Structure 1
Amino acid sequence: MSHANNPDVLNRLKRAQGHLSKIVEMVEEGRDALVIAQQLQAVVKAVDKAKTFLVLHHIEHHLYEAVGPLPKETRDRLAEMAEITKYL
């Protein structure tokens, strides 16, 4: 399994895909634009979180591959840096 094929990423994307399908139904039914826009924003956020998770996992994977196991202090610092990415 490729590290890019992570089950967490796939689950996040499948949930977003299901949510988007429901939004398409809402549009076809002529539902209120405000409600549709709110739901679209939720899908955008879900896809963005999946992307962030994928990128961070990729970095972590290749960092480990390049330098080997990291000490706990270094892993904690990386986790801190990963946490701040939600503000990008």
Structure 2
Amino acid sequence: MSETQTQELLSRLAKIEGHIRAISQMVETGRSCPEVLLQIAAVRSALNKVAKMLLKEYAQQNLVDAAQGGNLEEEIAHLRSALDSVI
């Protein structure tokens, strides 16, 4: 993964971390359930975007290398496992 991609992922994760802290504060201050659930949905969406970015990068890097190295089936199994954990 390039330095730019790593920084983008870290930036997104920092925003998600801040968003989660804000949700905790919402719960502490007694905000309504629909408001909290909306923010939880936003965090889920942001995490899904990070997961997609990681999976895309993994597929681009590892599958090409695996195809050239002759261990494509093994890498496909790893990718399937990763997808199962996300979906």
Question: TM-score per shorter chain, which class?
Answer: 0.5 to 0.7
Report sequence identity in percent.
28
- Residue 65 (structure 1) shift: 3.6
Give 5+ residue unaligned stretches, structure 2.
Answer: 69-86
Change (3 A) 1:4 1:52: farther
Offset of 1:4 from its aligned partner? 8.8
- Higher RCO (CA-CA < 8 Å; seq separation 6+): 1
Q: Which runs of 5 or more residues in structure 1 are unaligned?
A: 69-87
> 1: CA distance between counterparts of 2:63 and 2:29?
48
TM-score normalised per structure 2: 0.66
Matches within 5 A, 1:9-88: 9-66=9-66
Q: For the residues of structure 1 that align with 2:2 and 2:25, how far apart are their CA atoms?
A: 31
Instruction: Calculate the aligned-residue CA RMSD, in Å.
Output: 2.3
Count of paired positions:
67
Cα separation, 1, equivalents of 2:17 and 2:67:
36
CA contact (8 A) 1:4 1:58 kept: no
Deviation at 1:42, TM superposition (A): 0.1
